[in-house]
Structure 1
Amino acid sequence: MVRSHIISNDDEETAKILAPYIQSGNLNFLIGSGASLPAIKTAGDIEKKLDKLIKDGKAKEADREMVGFIEAIGETYKQLKDDPIYSDDLDEAFNNYSNFISIVDQILFFRKNEILPRQATIFSTNYDMFIEFAASKSPSISINDGFDRSSGQSENFAFAPEKYFDRTYRASSLYARRVEIPTINLIKPHGSLNWTKRGSDLIYNASAVQPLTPAEKADPVKVSEYLSKHFLIMPNFRKFHETLMERVYYDLLRLFSKSMEQENVALMAFGFSFSDEHILDITKRSLRNPTSQLIIFAYSHDDIALYQAKFAKHRNVSVIGPPAGTNINFLRLNNILSAVLPEIKNG
């Protein structure tokens, strides 16, 4: 049966719940569209719209709706890349992500378990580029997104999933002592705004696809071409444009499954509704591993019951939720994780 923790404003009390899992577990995070608020609306809205349009036989209208959703995310990317001053909503989301990866980096650095690798893995179903940009502004943080950057001659880096989970060490020239550098793996099963195809390869392309004109949006062929240029798994209805996209999607889901099968694995979910049937199914099957632990941060008090219903048969699931009338937003999550740091340092 799912355990629920209704937390107070005392983040240190919540930190005591989390500290044992963070200190001694293989650490994973599952990030959904709720994390990118308020800069980007949640994917749940678009999923419902697409579902209804497709069920009503309006596939072309569903494609146009998806174009609008992608273009909105593309606008945030343009601002992150080109604008020296961010809007309030964009600045809030960017700072939340920046603080999050900084806290995770510190957790990996300070935790005392020397048997476990100094690695954490972030699984994100979001198309946006907040984590990548946050990492680029913090050069001390090492992010591994699965692309081969061994050649600095091009911005079009090839996807090389075998590079995931590589460990990085720094050696002392005086004593030849090796020290592992904290690394964060970033795995995006639904694709990313800057993923595209070149020949038979998936590449990271720093240039975003240009938005459509109003006239082009009225042309079903142009709309279809626009969607096919993006290496994205469309919400809810799995629409694969080609075999390469399908293969990459299932390869990344297998990485998620494999990560959850590790001994003493902890998966912390935030901003994720588990409405994705594939990820929900893999998570439930992985929870058969008796040493695994799923910790879900519920945004609102009402969300607690929804998660309890989804995982009713599982004992290794904990839902951390707020009292009625309050919420756990990204800022609060970061405060809770920050409160874990003293527990780890002194543990």
Structure 2
Amino acid sequence: MKHFFYKGSQNVLSNVTDYEKTIEFIKKDLSKILDTRNLSFLIGSGCSLGPNGIPTMKQLADNLFEPSENLSELLKDKVFEDKHIKILERFKINYKNEPFRTNLETFLGTLYSYSFYLEKLKEANEDSFAQDLKDLNEIILKTKQYILFECLNEKNKGNDDNIIETYRQFYRKLSLRDSNLQKPNVFTTNYDLFSERAMDNLGISYTNGFSGFIERFFNPSIFNYALAEQMDISSLKWSVIDSFIYLFKIHGSVNWVERESNNKLFSIQELQNVNFEKLKEEANYMIYPSPLKQNASLGSPYADLFREFQKRITQKQSTLVTLGFSFGDEHINNIIYQALTIPSFRLVIFSDLGFYSNGQYEITRKNIEKLKNLNDPRIWIIGSNLEFDNLIGGEIKNEEEKELHFFETIANTLFPDFTQDKIEEANKNLIEQIIRAKVEGND
């Protein structure tokens, strides 16, 4: 495979051939980035992939539209049956082609638009459309429940420790950065609960926009708060605790549901200890940013979360690091492009760009390639492109080398570990205290 680290359009790894030297070179530059005052991350679906993780959008579509014969028993009643395919064909929705084939969000958005149209016809006393509306809503419900089941990852519960461990490493290292800096922001398009499970396991405090204990409801003002500890019991001196993270799930979450409450401004509740049977009949806030729904992308919680995304990455001296994000969401891309108009903004992208086959290079990440071609030194792109000529039985020849853009490589290897710095700082303070005590004793 070919590793790269583009600063603008220049690959600064072009003369570095040793893998260990490559790692050290990147770690050195990343340590400076992680010391940025306003640091944000954007975690995409690529971070939750793996043998026991969440399938890709294409895999989800493949299983839903054309399930294989060896599909697990748990999924057989969740995917489309012949009657569902016939409904799609009746509506002339060509699910086998782009953009539906690899993007179920676009598929759902189209269904919602069609449903809205049929609802209006029905309201105009066109009863002949009642059955069409019922059939279309059945397709929508089936699709939503299937995605919900997959994103809950119930079929892999107990076997997903490898993915949870990667998330733990990421959050552990992130929580240990300089306490004098602003607390980091983590934005994610993922609906799964890997981030929450990892931080709960580590005992890291975080806020995700919900307030309350027994009943937790959405309250975007929470993002303006921080968890602090009293430094001196005899005075009003407070300090934000070291391990604190702001988590923004900008596409919603599997455990967010619509729940009316007389004393709450927002009707979005976060549930605990969720499972598919508990959630499948709920009005779930997970994907569905349908432009025809007021309570979707133009309303709460999505509008509030995207507003925070824009506000936080456009502060002075801000850095955004993207992980597992392919720049396929235009509404997110536009906010990032706006941030690039600010001279002090820096963008770090972890991604592959393409692959080599029989000596030919093919670009697969066209939006990221466009950013590289801007030749802007504020844009860093780090990753690896596979060389299929070097594959033997589907395995890379050099098994010690890992793709630089893989979340596991980033969290375990590339991100600097501030633990040693903390230990050295504590030892230094202890020595200074001992010396000071001796000097005061001699006086």
* TM-score (normalizing by structure 1): 0.78
Aligned partner of 1:243 in structure 2 is 295
Q: Say whether residues 1:332 and 2:398 are aligned partners.
A: no
Q: What is the aligned residue count?
A: 314
Aligned match for 2:267, one of 201, 214, 224: 201
Amino acid at match of 1:97: Y
CA displacement, residues 239-280 of structure 1 (integer Å, 9 cap, x when unaligned)? 665536641212211111111111111111001111111001
- 1:220 corresponds to: none
Query: What secondary structure is seen at the aligned counterpart in 1 of 2:54?
Result: coil
Name the structure 1 match of 2:337.
Answer: 284
Residue range with higher mean Cα deviation, 291-300 or 320-329:
320-329
SS of 2:27's equivalent? helix
Could you say what the CA RMSD is over the residues aligned between the two structures, in angstroms? 3.4
Secondary structure, counterpart of 2:165 in structure 1: helix
Which of 1 and 2 has higher RCO (CA within 8 Å, sep 6+)? 1
Instruction: Determine whether 1:28 maps to 2:40.
Output: yes
TM-score, with structure 2 as normaliser: 0.62
Give the alignment partner of residue 122 of structure 1, picking from 157, 177, 186: 186
Cα deviation for residue 172 of structure 1 reads 3.2
Query: What secondary structure sits across from 1:243 in the alignment?
Result: coil
1:341 and 2:418 equivalent? Answer: yes
Which runs of no fewer than 5 residues in structure 2 stay unpaired? 1-7, 62-99, 115-134, 261-265, 356-363, 388-401, 426-443
Aligned to 1:233: 287
Secondary structure, aligned partner of 1:193: coil
Give the letter for the 1:318 counterpart: W
Native 8 Å contact 1:16 1:340 kept in 2: no
Question: Which SS does the other structure have where 1:15 is aligned?
Answer: helix
Identify if the C-alpha distance between structure 1 residues 244 and 329 changes in structure 2 by more than 3 Å, giving closer, same or farther. closer
d(CA) in 2 for partners of 1:43 and 1:108? 37
**1:336, 1:284 → 2: CA distance?**
29
Match of 1:43 in 2: 57
> Cα–Cα, structure 1 residues 186 and 3, in superposed 2: closer, same or farther, change >3 Å?
farther
8 Å contact from structure 1 (residues 301, 323) kept in 2: yes
Relative to structure 1, the CA distance from residue 340 to residue 25 in structure 2 (aligned partners, 3 Å threshold; closer, same or farther) is farther
Instruction: From 266, 286, 297, give the equivalent of 2:350.
Output: 297
Q: 2:142 matched to 1:64? A: yes
The structure with the larger Rg is 2
One-letter code aligned to 1:159: F
- Matched AA of 1:196: V
Partner residue in 1 for 2:202: 138
What residue number does 1:103 align with?
173
1:12 is aligned, of 17, 24, 32, to 24
Q: Which residue of 1 aligns with 2:313?
A: 260
Match of 1:148 among 211, 218, 241: 211
Against the structure 1 CA distance between its residues 138 and 341, is the aligned structure 2 distance closer, same or farther, given a 3 Å change threshold? closer
SS at match of 2:55: coil
1:321 maps to 383
Residue 180 of structure 1 deviates from its aligned partner by 2.7
8 Å contact kept, 2:31–2:416: no
2:164 to 88, 91, 94: 94
Is residue 210–residue 216 contact of structure 2 (8 Å, CA) maintained in 1?
Answer: yes
